[in-house]
Amino acid sequence: MKIGFVGLGIMGKPMAKNLIKSGHELLVYDLLEKHVQDVVKAGAKAASVTEIGLECPIMITMLPNSPHVKRVVCGRGGLLESAKQGAILIDMSSIAPSASQEIEKQCAEKGVLMLDAPVSGGEPKAVDGTVAIMVGGDAAVFERVKDDILLKMGASAVHCGPIGAGNTTKLANQIIVACNIAACAEAFTLVAKAGLDPNIVLNAIKGGLAGSTVMNAKVPMMIANHFVPGFKIDLHIKDLDNSLSAGHELGSPMPLTAQVMEMMQTLRADGCGQDDHSSLANYYAKVSGKRIGHAG
């Protein structure tokens, strides 16, 4: 099947490559030519947004935030200007649920079907094709693309409800991840302050109730003081900003999310916005004077 893919960043690039590996023909676009050429070498064809709209019955967007998706889909020269009636747009970006709903209305006016389908798992799972995909939109449209497209990029794809439900589910995911990472950083700073070996404590804890995928992935990075991004602080700030906005709109209390957001904003102000979100450990190092790893 011919698929258009717009947005070849940390997540989009490996996801596009997995679609190529599964036998799909891809037309790809990104603002950065080096990202395009990397995927072209894997078998894709470089194309403009207009060409993708004209030629592809399936269009996938994987972009940073709501304004980027609105511009690429609905803006001048965007996908909707050239897309054919009956085409399917799968927006896999993590954006505000209300933005997904606004974009879907404009898609419907053009006869284009839309799903919001953000993912969780970070770069390693995007490379392995094992991300979790959370989908909002018409259930019948979801079934049309689930096996041959979504499950070529992810280990699971779950229909969560109407349009916007995918991104609401992703926001819930991001709240849990952020608070979990912060709790790990706080706990292991305590461990370091007590003079204990964090590796031993990690092995003691991870098999019990506190054990989690987040702990297994992020605490070793804290111990190593190694924060090469699988998911950047700046991107998590974007997700928590959308979470707080959604919470305020719905009257849902968000005190823990707000606290972790302020920690991440402190790291951004310190020039760490491009570090992995496990660098929340650096917030605790700053206020406690003690790093978790042996270097501290």
Long-range contacts of the stretch 99-104 (C-beta < 8 A, 24+): 99/66, 99/69, 99/70, 99/167, 100/136, 100/163, 100/164, 100/166, 100/167, 101/163, 101/164, 102/70, 103/69, 103/70, 103/73, 103/74, 104/137, 104/163, 104/164
* Vertex 32 angle, CA 92 and 150, to 5°: 20
Find out whether 35 and 146 touch, Cβ atoms under 8 Å. no
Q: Percentage helix, strand, coil, to 5, in the chain?
A: 55, 15, 30
Catalytic residue among 146, 170, 218, 238: 170
Instruction: Give 232's strand partners.
Output: 276
Side-chain-side CA neighbours of residue 233 (13 Å): 26
**Residue 170 known to be catalytic:** yes
CA distance 284 to 109: 50
CA distance 49 to 83: 10
CA distance 186 to 152: 37
Amino acid at 82: S
Backbone angles phi, psi at 85, to 5 degrees: -60, 135
- What is the pairing mode between strands 113-116 and 2-6? unpaired
Instruction: Kindly give, in sequence order, each residue whose CB lies less than 8 Å from that of residue 229, ignoring residues fewer than 6 positions away.
Output: 10, 123, 274, 275, 276, 277
Catalytic residues: 170
